[in-house]
Amino acid sequence: MKFAVTIDVEEEGLFSGVYSSGAASALNVLEMDRLDPVFTDLGVRPTLLVSYQVANKGAILKKLYSLKKRWNAEIGAHLHHWNTPPIAFDEAPPPAPSELMPPYLLEAKALSLIKLLASTDELPNSFRMGRFNLGPNMLRVLEKIGVKVDSSVSPMRKAYGGPNHLCAPSDPYFPDLVDPSRVGSSSVLEVPVTILPILKGSGRYFERLSNSDCLPDGMAEWLSMNLGSIAAQPAWVNLQIAKTAVMIHERRGGDCVTIFFHSSELAPGMSPLNPTEEAVQRFIRRLQLFISWMRNRYDARCYTLSELHRIYEPTRTHER
């Protein structure tokens, strides 16, 4: 089985519910050395998806590139569209759904981040949208600027004012430019984070509920997220649930597991998931046990996102 570890390397303060368009601290990145025993011992080659408010701090970016070398990792872009320049959109409070922004502004923001990351290394080929807020406008921008692989789809989820990923596949696929949650012929490989419907195909049921007037606003999405799905995400769930999700995925024919977490989850108190040092240590141990289990049970090999693009490229249809 293929396995991808992705980390959203980002500034502090995002779990407070405030999305400022100004500068922000990113000291949590200095805690990423905690992952050395996991990554070096288990041969994990992560993809580090870096936000603008991290990339614009020279000393911290230098630290990231030292981790890249140590872990043989990949550096990609993580676009927080609310605080990446140009700051030129005030028609909705931050974080405004990206689909409300004109494509030229999304493109300018993406290039602003990518050029900053490219100033010290090769041009990034991998990408994730902040809050998994990928819609058709952003996908077209990624294709236009030459990004090869995206990991912004969160299956069985639908964000307020944002994209609908309720029916998205659980394995990597080349998406449709009109609806990125469906298979199409984009040149950008989509690598969704591994979240599964508990009942196969139930995403369509939740999508119909979401589009109907049967339930209060947001209720269908809440049911899908909390009762209708299971996540192979050791940052979110206990070890047994994460393992169960992988086993279900494999039995349904899945051949790639993609996990993600935030750099801030390695710093005590900077994420509600890990409020204390003990909670951080438990998470790191859970991550280590999960990856060890993946290697032992499925002979899982870890790939960066760009490597997955090379593997899946032969499966792409070029019809438009």
Alpha-carbon separation of residue 33 from 2, 70, 151, 182, 183 (angstroms): 25, 10, 24, 37, 38
CATH number (domain holding residue 128)? 3.20.20.370
Which tens digit of pLDDT belongs to each residue from 27-83? 999 999 999 999 999 999 999 999 999 999 999 999 999 999 999 999 999 999 999
For the cut 90, the answer to whether the pLDDT of residue 89 exceeds it is no
Q: Which amino acid is at 81?
A: H
**How far is Cα 182 from Cα 153, in angstroms, rounded to an integer?**
10
- Cα dihedral sign for 145, 137, 128, 24? positive
Q: How far apart are the first and last CA of the chain?
A: 30
What number is the average pLDDT over the span 181-198? Answer: 97
Rounded Cα distance between 206 and 134, Å, is 19
Structural domain includes residue 72: yes
In a domain, 242, yes or no: yes
202 part of a folded domain: no
Which ranges of the chain does DSSP label H, i.e. alpha helix? 36-42, 52-55, 58-71, 103-118, 136-145, 202-211, 219-226, 239-251, 277-298, 305-312
**Would residue 201 count as lying in a domain?**
no
Supply the range of the domain harboring residue 190.
Answer: 2-196+232-315
Do the domain assignments include residue 218?
no
Residue 68 has a pLDDT of 95
Pairing state of beta strands 149-150 and 126-129? parallel
Question: Would 66 be classed as within a structural domain?
Answer: yes
What pLDDT does residue 215 have? 85
3-class secondary structure per residue, 72-140: CCEEEEEECCCCCCCCCCCCCCCCCCHHHCCHHHHHHHHHHHHHHHHCCCCCCCEEEEHHHCCCHHHHH
> What is the spatial distance between Cα 101 and Cα 103, in angstroms, rounded to a whole number?
6
120: pLDDT confidence band, cut at 50, 70 and 90? low
Give the pLDDT band (50/70/90) at residue 8: very high
Q: In Å, what is the CA distance from 97 to each residue of 29, 78, 113, 217, 259?
A: 26, 15, 18, 17, 24
Length of the chain: 320
Flag whether 227 is in a domain: no
Q: For 208-260, write each residue's pLDDT tens digit.
A: 988 888 888 889 899 999 999 999 999 999 999 999 999 999 999 999 999 99
Strand pairing report for 74-79 and 126-129: parallel
pTM: 0.96
Neighbours of 177 (CB within 10 A): 16
**Which pLDDT score is estimated for 319?**
54
Provide the pLDDT for residue 90. Answer: 79
The stretch 98-116 carries a mean pLDDT of 95
pLDDT at 320: 47
Q: What is the pLDDT of residues 121-175, one digit of tens each?
A: 678 999 999 999 999 999 999 999 999 999 999 999 987 666 899 999 999 999 9
pLDDT band at 7 (very low <50, low <70, confident <90, very high): very high
Residue 135 covered by a domain: yes
Rounded to an integer, what distance in angstroms lies between the CA atom of residue 253 and that of residue 6?
22
* pLDDT at residue number 123: 84
Number of domains in the chain: 1
CB 215 within 8 A of CB 228: no
Q: What is the mean pLDDT of the chain?
A: 94
Overall average pLDDT of the 273-277 stretch = 96
